[in-house]
Amino acid sequence: MRPMNLALFDLDNTLLVGDSDHAWGQFLCDKGIVDRDEYEARNNAFYEQYKAGTLNITEFLEFVLAPLAERSREELDALHGEFLNDVIFNMITPLGEALVRWHIEQGDLCAMVTATNAFVTAPIARYFQIPHLIATIPAIENGRFTGKPHGTPAFREGKVERVARWLESMALDLTSFEHSWFYSDSHNDLPLLSVVNNPVAVDPDDALRLRAETLGWPVITLRRVDEEEESSEIILPTR
């Protein structure tokens, strides 16, 4: 029997053309849920810090999770439904869906691994039919979000820790797999990219592109949506 393989997918700017965390904040501004002037400026500033590799994850989570504590889960779920339809579905490309589908059809153990919180990302993982989600967890008390994170955020080295704990819960580790892939766009994900045996840079930022080219990692794009380009642009893994 062929050994089981592992496929891990970053979400923002990898499977999506854009960042769901930042987009959720902008959506809240557009809906009048938060004060636009203050919230939009801070949302944009945190996003620039993330791209620069200077994000303080504790400060960011205090900011981004706070609005979740102000509404019931029913209200939030209704808002998220609008967010999916109006924003997220426009950020998904056929190539991203095809890559995930290929790994699932191969029987690989698949997980989305994202720093964006699980409230925002769980419905997106379900849309992609990715069965496992490793995301930053918003704390809940009495059925309501507290506005605080729970446990280790799935950010930078935290992704390595969270993936290791997830695999350990199944009596596995990275050495259990003949092939382990991680697909990401960001230099913030270098810790996890560096421990799988098939790191793949997807439409990478400049820092990740340089590292990938230096180390000979594959660099692919998932942003071609023209049908004639789809088959030629995506590079499916080899076994």
CA geometry: angle 105, 100, 115, nearest 5 deg: 140
Predicted confidence band of residue 236 (pLDDT cuts 50, 70, 90): low
Give the DSSP H/E element, type plus range, for residue 97: helix 94-105
- Does position 230 have pLDDT exceeding 80, yes or no? no
CB contact set of 218 (below 8 Å; sequence gap of 6+): 200, 201, 212, 235
Q: What is the mean pLDDT of residues 55-70?
A: 97
Output the 3-class SS for 19-35: CHHHHHHHHHHHCCCCC
- The partner residues of 145 in beta bridges, in order of sequence, read 140
Q: Tell which wins on pLDDT, 208 or 37.
A: 208
Q: What pLDDT, on the 0 to 100 scale, is given for residue 238?
A: 59
Q: What pLDDT, on the 0 to 100 scale, is given for residue 4?
A: 84
DSSP 106: T
Q: What is the mean pLDDT of residues 67-92?
A: 97
Q: What pLDDT, on the 0 to 100 scale, is given for residue 140?
A: 97
Reduce the DSSP state of residue 3 to 3 states and report it.
coil
Predicted confidence band of residue 95 (pLDDT cuts 50, 70, 90): very high
- Does position 122 have pLDDT exceeding 60, yes or no? yes
E-strand stretches of 93-185:
109-117, 132-141, 144-150, 180-184
Region of poorest pLDDT, from 9-13, 68-72, 182-186, 232-236? 232-236
> How far is the C-alpha of 210 from the C-alpha of 53, rounded, in Å?
15
> How far is the C-alpha of 166 from the C-alpha of 170, rounded, in Å?
7
Q: What pLDDT, on the 0 to 100 scale, is given for residue 234?
A: 57
Reported as a single tens digit per residue, the pLDDT across 142-200 is 999 999 999 999 999 999 999 999 999 999 999 999 999 999 999 999 999 999 999 99
Predicted confidence band of residue 237 (pLDDT cuts 50, 70, 90): low
- Does position 228 have pLDDT exceeding 60, yes or no? no
Question: Which residues form the catalytic set?
Answer: 10, 12
Domains, the chain, in order of start with CATH, read: 6-233 (3.40.50.1000)
Mean of the per-residue pLDDT values of the chain: 93
- Does position 102 have pLDDT exceeding 70, yes or no? yes
